Every structure is written in structure tokens, then in C-alpha cells.
Structure 1
Amino acid sequence: MLWPMIALPAVAGVALLLGGRRVDRFAPGIALLTAVATAVLAVLNAAERPAVSAPFLAGIPVSFGVDGLSAVLIVAVAVIVVAVLIFALGDLGSDEPRARFHGLMLLFAAAMLATVTARSLLPLLMAWELMGAASYALIGFRWREAERTESGLVAFLTTRTCDLGLYIAAGAALAGGAGVLALDALADLDSLWLHVAAAGVLLAALGKSAQLPFSFWLSRAMVGPSPVSALLHSATMVAAGAYLLLRSAPLLDATGWAATATAWIGVGTAIALGAVAVCQSDLKQLLAASTSAQVGFMVLAAGVGGVAAGSGHLVAHAVTKSLLFLTAGAWLTALGTRSLAGLRGVARSYPLAGVAFTVGALALAGVPPFALWPTKDAVLTAARDSSVALYAAGFAAALLSAVYAGRALTLVWLRPLADTESHWDSEEPGTRSVNSAQAIPLVALAVLTVAAGGMALPVVHDRFAALLDHDSAPAPGWSELVVSGGVAVTAVSVVALLVRRRGDLPAPAVLAGWLGLETAARRLLVKPVLATARTLARFDDRVLSAGVDTAGTGTRALAGRLANVDDHALDTSVGRTAHGTRVLARRLADFDDHVLDAGVDTGTHAVLTLAEISDRRTEHDIDATIRGIAAATRQLGRWARRPQTGLVHQYYAQATIGIAVLAVVLLLLR
């Protein structure tokens, strides 16, 4: 069942993309049926836990398998995909290219399922690349708007740069003796290559999960459609980096430094981006910053070895954050704004969505008995067993969660102000309604968010840990749960009181601007890269291109000289031959004028004719050969220049097509 679970959404996605606008009418139904079938296969695979392998490169197979960690994640991913595609039925405009949208969503889902089931670096790299390409296309889905295209490019280039870490890790694995590139074998590498592999994995994971200092790309990614935000930034793309670190926990621990660095980067992101979330005036930006912060808890768990705690938080966050993003999307469709100033009182106008948002926001705040309350405390318990300082920092980050969630919740329930309606329709024309297709997944996800609070029960926690094959995972005590829940309730109440009295909380510019991370990246990374690119472009124009032009000119000149030499040599040779023939003819004529005269004249004429024909044919053949070589050289030059467009996304598309061809070859030859 494992191959079909990955192949079904991939094949359906490719078919929709190839069908284009001709199949727009049928695309939502096809995509939803595919997602439901994939979810059924995910449940079956989680129960059976199969493993499959196919030979590919010499000694390096492509291996997939389902264990405890991937069993939980494939079900979570499949369920979120179904919910998001149901929401998209009522959110996507009828004039938009639905086949392209749903095809990309299915391809992305297939890549994520392959990522969490890959057992070696080779299939992980393939899935990781496909996920990056699909996310770039989805974020910039409405590409005719320059801002969206630029934002998609920023997100793509940031994560793509960090993705190089996986290639570094693969190279270290080969050099260190892990010839099959198995993920489980990375922790057993030789000392030097062990550290290189850990650094590569950490770089790739931090970039994909929008951790410091790469968090800014997630802010740019919010220009994508609401279903894209709900899928990419809840259970899939940003979660993929956290999953990779949880999967690689033995590797991180074996280095002696990577685990500690991972834990502190995670908790640092949770604090810094939590403060950023508090100061956002845009609801989707607030949710984006909170996503980086909450993923920071998962990264913290990976650093302290709390695989069960981090996995539980990942699943709970996926359900909660998809609920919040979809609710924000429903309000964006209804009122045409994401501004918190324009969303004041929106929960009163649309109570069903308001209740759903309330459930999600209270869970995000860590209020009992909702999803993130027990899973956050499980992460803090694992951190406390490792370091008291990490625990204290994590507790501060949890307090910030209550602050930004309480602020958003209070604003959407406050009565509208006189200027609230002036913010409406600032993003797009609002429909002033939340339709049933949007409401159904909100209700389902809200129920799951409440149900996930059952992780507070010891029996549920223990069974979840056993499912992950981590029976010894420490559970938070009831005293810790009560204290953290009480702190969260108090923080939400205080924030609500302050917002009601003051209208909102102050927002320092540095926090509202995501700590200036993108500006710093442009100065420290983008500008040097662009300067290097310009230098290489000048080198290409002035050296390589000039060399090619010089070689072409030289070839033509050489051909001309050879032609002249050929003409002169042939003419001389033919002239000498003709002269000798004439001399011989005269002597023969003198020898026997009366007997052989007629025969000699005829022979001489024939020889002269043959010499002229040979001269012309030889010259023609040489010229034709030279012209053919020159034409072939020019054609090869044109073909070589054709893919050199200078557009990064086209280079990436070429690489993606190459990977897809390799995958097809693998399936045909396995």
C-alpha cells in the first residue's frame, strides 16, 4: 500500500497540471477524491507499517518505510490535505486556474508523504526538491501580481539555499562509509563526517522550518491563497524541517554540539518570533510568526531528545494552525481584509467561524483543555530534564504564546469601531458570507483540536509514546499542567483587559518588521550573491562568450584559408597533369602521326575531361564538409544557449524535470 499512497496524488496532480484549463471544471472533485483515497491508504499504512525498496544507483536503493513517527505524520498530513481541499471548494474563485491549483496541491502532498516515509537520503532529496518546487509555485500561484511573485521567489531562494545542507549531508554520508545513505546510519559515521552531516541536516531543517535566522521567508509566504497557507504552514512544509530533526535526533546527540545548538535555536526562535507575533497588525502575519514560534518548540524537543513530545506537539499544532489559517481565510473571503483593525468584531458577524477561531486561539495560547496545552508541557518537561535554563526559556516562550493568541482572540470579538469598515475589501472584494464548503472543515478541525487535549491524560500520552516506539518518554505531571494552564488563562485574561482598555497593544517597529531579518539577509547574503553573479556574468560575456566568438571566427578563417590552399593545390596539380599529358600526346603524335593520331587525340581529351571533373568534385566535397561542420557547430551553440535564460525558476524547473525523469526510470526498472 505504500507505493500507491505516494504515487496516487503524484499521478493525479501531474494529470491535472497537464490537463490545464480544459479540466478546471472537474479538478476540485478529482483532487478531493484523490485526497480521500490517499487518507484511507495512509490509515492502512499506519496500521500495517510496510517497508519497500527498489534498486536505483549502484549500491544505493530507494527505500521507503512506515515506523511509529512516520505512521503518525502520514495520517496527520492526509487528514489536513482533505480538510484544506474541502475548504478550497468554497474559497477559490471560479475564474482561477483550478486544475493548476489542485494539481500543485496534490504534488505537494505526495512530496510530503514521500519525505516522512523516506528511509535514506536519496528519496528524501528527491521528495525535498519536489516539495520546494511545488511550494514555490503555490505561494506565487497568482503570479500576475508582482508582489506575490517576488514573495514566492524570496521564500524559494531562502529555503533553496538551506536545502544545500542535505546535499552536504549526503556527501558526508558517502565519504564516511554510509554507502546506502540510510538515515539510521548517519549517527555511526566517522568523527569528521559525522559533524559535517549533522551541520548539513541542521541547516536544511532550520531553513525549511523558518527558524532563526531564516524566519523571514514565512512572512513573505503569506501572500499565497489561504488554503496554501493552511497546508504548507501547519502540517507540511514548515513541519518537514522539524520532522527531519526529530528523525535525526540520534545524529544530533552523537556530535556533542548539534543537539545543544538545535535546542537553543529552537527556544530562541520561540521567544523571538513569539514577540514578533504579538506586534503584528495583519492576522495572517501573526499566525505566520506564531508558526515559527511553535515549530521552535518542536526543534527544542529534537535537541533535548524528546522525540515523542516533539511529535505530539507537531500533530497538535498541525490541527490547530490549519484551523486558524482556514478561519482567517474564510474572513478574508468574506470581508476582503487580513488587517486586525478591519477584523474587529468579525467573530460576532460570523459566529460559527468565530467559535472555531476561539477554539484554535485558546489551544495556541495553551489554555486547557485544548490541543497544545499538554503537548507544550511535554516539550518543557523534556527540556527541564536536559537543562533548567532551557526550561525557563521555553516557559517564557509559552507565556508569549498566550499573549499573541489572547490579543488576536480579543480583537475579533470586540465591537467594531467607526473606521472598521474602511479596512474591508483592501485585499480583495469581500463576499460578506462564509459558505458551507468553508464551514465544514472548520467544524471538523475544531473538534479535533478539542479532542487532542486528551493528551493530558497519562493513558493517552503513554499510548501515543508507545505508538512512536518511545515508551520511556517523560510525561508532564498534573501539577505542571495545572500551573501552565493557569498561567495561560491569566495571561489571556490580562491581555484581553489591556486591549479592551487601550484598543490594542504597542508594537515596536523592529518587532512589527520581523526583526529586520529580511533586510539583514539582503545585506549579508543577497547582495554578495548578486555581486558574485554579476561578476560571473561579466566573465561569461567578456571571457567565455568572447572565446566562443573568437573560436567561431577562427574556424571560419581557417576554413577559408584551407579552401584557398585547396584551390591552389588542386589547380597546380591539375595544371601539371594536363601539361604532362599534352607533352606525352605530342610525343606520341610525333611517333606515329598516321597510325595513332586519332586515338591519341581522343585519349588526351578524355584525360583532360577527367582531370577537370576530379578538380570540381574534390573542391565541392571539401567545401560541403566545411559548411556542414560550421552549420552543426552553430546549431549546437544555439541549443546550448537556449536553456541559459538567467531565470532561476527555469533552472529549478529543469532540475525538477530531471529528478522526475529519474523517478520514472526508477519505477520502470525496479
Structure 2
Amino acid sequence: MIWILPAAVGALLLLVRRAPRAVALTTAAATLALAVWAAFARPAVRFPFVFTSGFAVDGLSAVMAVTVAAVTLAVLVFAAGELREARFYGLMLVFAGAMLATVTATELTMLLMGWEVMGAMSYALIGYWWRDDDRVTSAGVAFLTTRAGDLGLYAAAGAALAAGGQGLWLDGLAGLAAPWRDLVAAGVVLAALGKSAQLPFSFWLSRAMAGPSPVSALLHSATMVAAGAYLLMRLQPLLAATGWAVPVAAWAGGLTALLLGAVAVAQRDLKQLLAASTCAQIGLMMMGSVAGGAAQLVAHAAVKSLLFLGAGAWLTALGTKDLAELGGAARRYPVVGVSFTVGALALAGVPPLSLWVTKDTVLASAAGPWLHAVGLAAGLLSAAYAGKALASVWRGDGLVGGRRALGARSSDAPSPGVPPSGALSPGVLSPAVPSSGALSSGAPSPGVPAASAWSLGSLPPLAVASAVLGVVGVPVAWAWWSALVGDPGAAGVSAGELVVSGGLAVGVLAAALVRPGLLVSGRPGRTGGWLGLEALARAVVWRPLMGCARALAWFDDRVVDGAVGAVPRVGMAAARAARMPFEAGLDGVVRAVAGAALRLGRLARRPQNGQVHTYFAQAAVSLIILALAIVLVR
């Protein structure tokens, strides 16, 4: 299947480490070609495993496979300008291969394997600069948080097995008997919320910003975070059969879209703003039909990969991701600036760009007016935080105090001796205006390396995709799209809804651009701190869990080990107690017998003097005694 190529080459790169960039780019291009072929050929394979397992490509998985492969190629092309380590490219290819395995699996065992490998690779990539303790800690927090949600998928597999089926085929889960069907659905929803950073798991995505920007671009757009939304789309029949799982997932997504949209507005860090916006946009995908969610997922993949790559380019060149210090960055580096602007306008829902349409296709199928209102409010927040980002990078004086500390080291920049976090050397970002001074974190320099120069070419295609992918949601293409992803008859969006939402988005965006200071607070506060979710998780889950672990360790050390140690002590005490009345007497008997034998031996030695006549005399005496004994006995 498609996933074998990137996973196998990635694993080989981790071992051989030869020509990593060329091998990785060639593999990514070949994977994209295979994904396009599979989208038309629709291959399927079955094989014996624990149960009969398999992989197949249908309409929904074809869309996902092409999206994953295309974004992976674009991100690796961008990363090839600076990152050279085989470890990076090997991990990225295995990461993409695991996502491809997840979206093409037709049986729960195979899906779970891809799901787990993807989580492991995310840990390695977020903590890529492993000499930095803070980054490793962030990777651990992200990994443990997603693992907590992943337990739901294990519970779902266990419930499906307990239901007595002969396999774990995804298309057969909806037919399980109650209550096993409900338990499977509950596990699936939990796993999806954890993987897609929905409430209450959202804070792990903030921690994921510790990785290189290309990692963020791939993780936030087409892999990992999108996996939860895909899982809910793939198992929509199961969720619908329960009667409760669909509204639970929809409301969880809606609340995440609204609250994390507010978190994005409050951010002063560009990558954190984009991370919170990912949570919000993924939440929108969970609110409506499969067709609407899939359209939103594909368009969002192009938009978010573009925005993260642009943020990474500026981070490399300017050494900062602080919105207050990015003033004029878009004018200074126009290729990145224009591409980033297209992505931000699409994120804002500005007509006629992609997310304007796809967002409304989701809202058109939202269940009930209250959920629709929540989604609409979340869409307006999208325009607000996108406008805040645009104002920051285009205005000449920044957002706060006119500071232009372009050489300041960012908290996201690696520590000394660690490779830079961006995917491009500063030289590729040819400034539009002369620099007023050298940048301490890499000043623009002449003589751009060839690899860096052409890697910037991945931004314009992503900008074009961000602009046009919404065409799948327009009424003339909607019937084809909904049939392709297996959701025929899904509600489409009307022209009136598009006009209203587009007009509101433009109005909010204009306000954010004209008065950006309204969106900036002196201190991030609870909203800027991701609603205190990580602190809450530590207080409610982590500390009690560690307390229980310490209590169990004490019980094991003191009680269990004490009981085990008491057994030999009691045995020795019993032995000592038994020794006094019994062993002493037995020892006396043994010593008496030994003493008697010793004395008899000494007596027996006396006649053994070596004189023959003495031996004859002894024999004669013995015979006389024997004769007397015979006579007496008779």
C-alpha cells in the first residue's frame, strides 16, 4: 500500500543516513504519485494478522492520502533549504507513512498501529533538539496527553472484541450490539478529541510548538491533528447508530472552535496563535457532515501548512516569533509576505478564498441553531486572529511600542550548538528594502545556496491551493464532492449564507487591521495561557496520579516488601525456637552415638598390635566363648 514506501525509506534513512535530502524529496514525490494513482485505481488488500486485516482506498481515504502526500512534499521541499540531518527526514517520512496507514486502514488493528506510530514519531519530532531540556519536556507533555486520549481507542478495540465479532472491520462496528457499540463509540470519540487537540486536551498543541517549524507545518495541517477529525468522519455510521455520539462530538468541536478561537486572539506569539487556530479549525470540522468536514480538512491543510512555513521563515531570518517584533516582516520579505497574506485571508474566511466556502458547508449541516451560532461566532474569531497576524507583519512599527528587536533570540530558537528552527537560511529571504543593520540571528547575506533558493518555491503553490480548494464546496461541485467522500445528500451551503458569512468576515478583518491594538492586551492572562488547561490537567489529573503512584510505591516498599521480608524472618525465628527443645536433644544423641563409636574403635585398636601369637590367642578365646554360648543356648 501507499504507506509502505515512505515508512520503509524513512526507517532506512534513520539507519543508513546517506543523501537524506535527495532521498527524502524523491520518496515524497513518488508517494504523491502513488497517492494520485491510488485515488483512481482504488486498490485494496487483505492479509491474515491477529484477525484478517487489510488496507483499501475509497473516496474519503483517497482525498486524505493525496492531501497528506502533497503537504508532505511541500514541507520537505521547504525544509531542504536548511535542515540536513537524516534523522529529521527519516522521522518525517515515517510520520507521513503512519498517517497514510491510518487513513487507508480498513480494520481497527491496523488503524491502531498507524495511530501509535504516528504518536511516537510526533514525540521524536517535537523533541527533535533533544539536548534542550525544555523541548524534551514539551515533547513528553504532548505525548502523554495524546496517549491519555489514545486509551479510548484501546478500549474501543477491547469492547469490539468482547462483542463477539470475528474481526474489527471499521465498516462493521455500527452493527455491534448494545452496549458494546456505545462503548466503542465512546472510546473513538475520546481518542479523536485527544489526537485532534480538542477540549480538554487542547494544551498539548501549544507544547508541540517546541519542534522545528516544518514539523509544526506537517503536524498541524495534514497529519496527527487531522487524524482525530478523520477518524470521526470514517466512523460516522457508528457514531450515528448510537444516537448520542454525533452531538457530543459536534458540541465538543463547537466549544473548542469558540474558546480556542478566543485563545488565538489573545496570543502575542505567532506560532502559538496559529496553534490555537488549528484547534479551532479542527473543531469546526467536527460540527457538521462528513462532506463538509472533509472539505474543511483539505482546505485547512493547505492554509495551515502555508502559514506555519511562513512563520518559520521569519523566525529563521529575524530570530523572533513575537508579534510585537514582526512589524514590517511581510514588506521586508515579500515572497513570504504575500504567500502568508493569502493564507491568512483564507483563514479569516474572506471571499472567494477556500475556507470561506468550506466553513459554511460545515455550518450548513450543523445540528440546531445554537450549534450553528457557536460555529458562526468561531468563524468571526477566525477573522479576528487572522487580522491580528496580518496587522503584525505588515505594519511598520509592530503592535507594541514600535520595537524592532529583529535580532533578539526567540524562545523558539534553539540554544547554542543546536540547528536553527526554521527551514530556510536567512539568505533566501531576500529583503525588499535594505536592512538597517545586521541581524544577530542571521542577517540577509548574498550568495544564497541553491538548495535554499528553490525551497522557497513551495510557498506560492500552497498559496494557490489555499485560494482555490474551496471550489469543492460551491453548489455546482457539491453533489460530486459529497458523493466522492461517501456522504451523498449532505446539506450544501446557499448563496445567501455565503454572502452573509463573507460580509461578516470582511468586516471583522477590516476592524482588526484598522485597530489592531484592540486585540492586544498588556498581559496574556488566562485566555492567552490556553485557558489554564495544562495547569488544570496537572492539578486534576497529574498530581493526583503521581500521588497515587507515590502511595502505591510506599505500599509496595513498606507493606508488600515488608510482608515478603517477614516470611524468611518468621522462618528463621521458628527454626531458632525449634532448635532449643528438639535440635539440642538430637545433637546430644548424635554426639553420644559418635562418642560410643569412638570409644569402641579405640578398644578395638588395642588387640591390633601386629603379633601373630596374640591373634591366635584371641581366636582361641573367641572360639571358647562361642562354644559356651552354644552349650548354654541348648
Shorter-chain TM-score bucket reads: 0.7 to 0.9
Q: Which residue of 2 aligns with 1:36?
A: 29
Distance 2:74 2:295 in 1: 20
User: Which region of structure 1 is more displaced relative to structure 2, 429-438 or 544-553?
Assistant: 544-553
- Does residue 349 of structure 1 match 2:349? no
DSSP-derived class of the 2:198 partner: coil
CA distance in 2, matches of 1:363, 1:233: 16
Relative contact order (alpha carbons < 8 A, sep ≥ 6): 1 or 2 greater? 2
Answer yes or no: is the 8 Å Cα contact 1:365–1:402 preserved in 2.
yes
**1:430 corresponds to:** 441
Aligned with 2:494 (options 474, 477, 492) = 477
Aligned length: 572
Residue number in structure 2 paired with 1:388: 369
Q: CA deviation at 1:164?
A: 0.4
Contact 2:474 2:493 in 1 (8 A): no
Q: Structure 2 CA distance, aligned partners of 1:462 and 1:556? A: 84
Partner AA of 2:392 in structure 1: L
Distance 1:548 1:108, change over 3 A: farther
Decide which of 71, 74, 79 is 1:88's aligned counterpart. Answer: 79
Which residue identity is paired with 2:9? A
Structure 1 gaps, min length 5: 598-670
Is the CA contact (8 Å cut-off) linking 2:196 and 2:229 kept in structure 1? yes
- In 2 relative to 1, CA 12–544 (structure 1 residues): closer, same or farther, beyond 3 Å? farther
Per the alignment, residue 133 of structure 2 pairs with: 146
CA distance in 1: counterparts of 2:567 and 2:226, whole angstroms: 52
Cα gap change, 1:486 to 1:549, in 2 (>3 Å): same
Alignment partner, residue 465 of structure 2: 448
Q: Does 1:235 align with 2:222?
A: yes
The two structures have a TM-score, normalised by structure 2, of 0.83
Tell me, in whole angstroms, the C-alpha distance in 2 between the residues paired with 1:182 and 1:37: 29
Shift of 1:542: 2.5
Instruction: Find the counterpart in structure 1 of residue 360 from structure 2.
Output: 377
**CA 1:26–1:172: 2 relative to 1, 3 Å:** same
Task: State whether residues 98 and 117 of structure 2, in contact with CA within 8 Å, keep that contact through their aligned partners in structure 1.
Answer: yes
| Distance in structure 2 (CA, Å) of the matches to 1:291 and 1:493 | 22
Deviation, 1:511, is 1.2
Letter in 1 for 2:292: A
Given the alignment of the two structures, is residue 525 of structure 1 paired with residue 531 of structure 2, yes or no?
no
One-letter amino acid matched to 2:514? L
d(CA) in 1 for partners of 2:108 and 2:461? 36
Q: TM-score, normalised by structure 1?
A: 0.79
Q: Does 1:192 align with 2:179?
A: yes
Please report how far the alpha carbon of residue 541 of structure 1 lies from its aligned counterpart in structure 2 after TM superposition: 2.5
- Deviations along 1:72-126, whole A, 9 cap, x unmatched? 001100111111111111242x5xxx12211111111111111111112111111
1:348-379 CA-partner distances (Å, limit 9, x unpaired): 00001000001100110111121211111100
Residues 339 and 423, structure 1, Cα contact 8 Å, conserved in 2: no
1:551 Cα deviation from its structure 2 partner:
7.0
SS in 1 for 2:323: coil
Give per-residue Cα distances to partners, 1:127-157, cap 9 Å, x unaligned. 1111111101111111211211111111111
Contact 1:267 / 1:390 at 8 angstroms: preserved in 2? yes
CA deviation profile, 1:584-617 (whole Å, cap 9, x unmatched): x979x99x9979x9xxxxxxxxxxxxxxxxxxxx
Tell whether the 8 Å contact from 1:91 to 1:330 is kept in structure 2 after alignment: no
Percent sequence identity over aligned pairs:
54
Q: Among 3, 6, 10, which residue is 2:3 paired with? A: 6
Q: Which has the larger radius of gyration?
A: 2
CA distance in 2, matches of 1:557, 1:202: 58
What is the correspondence of 1:278-357 to structure 2 with a 5 Å cutoff?
278-301=265-288, 306-357=289-340
Distance 1:552 1:42, change over 3 A: farther
- From 497, 517, 520, the equivalent of 1:505 is 520
**One-letter amino acid of the counterpart of residue 228, structure 1:** V
Residue in 2 that maps onto 1:611 = none
Post-superposition Cα deviations, 1:203-249, rounded to whole Å, max 9, x if no partner, equal: 11001101111111111111110011001111111100001111121
> What displacement does 1:318 show?
0.5
Instruction: Name the counterpart of 1:79.
Output: 70
Deviation at 1:504, TM superposition (A): 5.1
**How does 1:193-272 map onto structure 2 within 5 Å?**
193-272=180-259
The structure-2 alpha-carbon separation of the partners of 1:391 and 1:43, relative to structure 1 and needing over 3 Å to count, comes to same
CA–CA distance in structure 2, aligned partners of residues 489 and 462 of structure 1: 28
CA distance in 2, matches of 1:336, 1:180: 53
Residue in 2 that maps onto 1:366: 349
How far 1:544 moved relative to its partner? 4.3
Is 1:412 matched with 2:412?
A: no
Give SS of 1:52's match. Answer: strand
Q: CA RMSD for the aligned pairs? A: 3.3
Alpha-carbon offset, residue 331 of structure 1: 0.5
Q: Work out the CA distance in 1 between the residues paired with 2:352 and 2:93.
A: 34
Is residue 71–residue 302 contact of structure 2 (8 Å, CA) maintained in 1? yes
Contact preservation (8 Å) 1:89, 1:437: no
> Residue 462 of structure 1: CA displacement?
2.5
SS of residue paired to 2:286:
helix
The residue aligned with 2:619 is none
Q: CA deviation at 1:547?
A: 5.6
1 or 2, which has the higher helix percentage? 1
**Secondary structure of the structure 2 residue equivalent to 1:63:** strand
In 1, the alpha carbon distance for the partners of 2:314 and 2:574 equals 72
CA distance in structure 1 between the aligned counterparts of 2:490 and 2:110, rounded to whole angstroms: 29
The one-character-per-residue Cα deviations of 1:16-52 (angstroms, maximum 9, x if unpaired) are: 2223xxx2x6112222222122222111222111221
Distance 2:239 2:54 in 1: 22
Mapped pair 1:48 → 2:63 = no
Could you tell me whether the CA contact under 8 Å between 1:140 and 1:151 is conserved in 2?
Answer: yes
Counterpart position of 1:647 = none
Residues 366-415 of structure 1 deviation map (CA, whole Å, 9 limit, x = unaligned): 111212111111001111xx312111111111111111111111221111
Counterpart of 1:67 in structure 2 is: 58
Q: In 1, Cα distance between the equivalents of 2:97 and 2:572?
A: 53
SS of the equivalent of 1:338 reads: coil
How far apart, CA to CA, are the structure 1 residues paired with 2:560 and 2:52?
39
Q: Is the 8 A contact 2:295 2:470 kept in 1?
A: no
SS in 1 for 2:549: helix
Shift of 1:68: 1.1
Partner of 2:379 in structure 1? 398
- Contact kept in structure 2, 1:332 and 1:430, CA below 8 Å: no
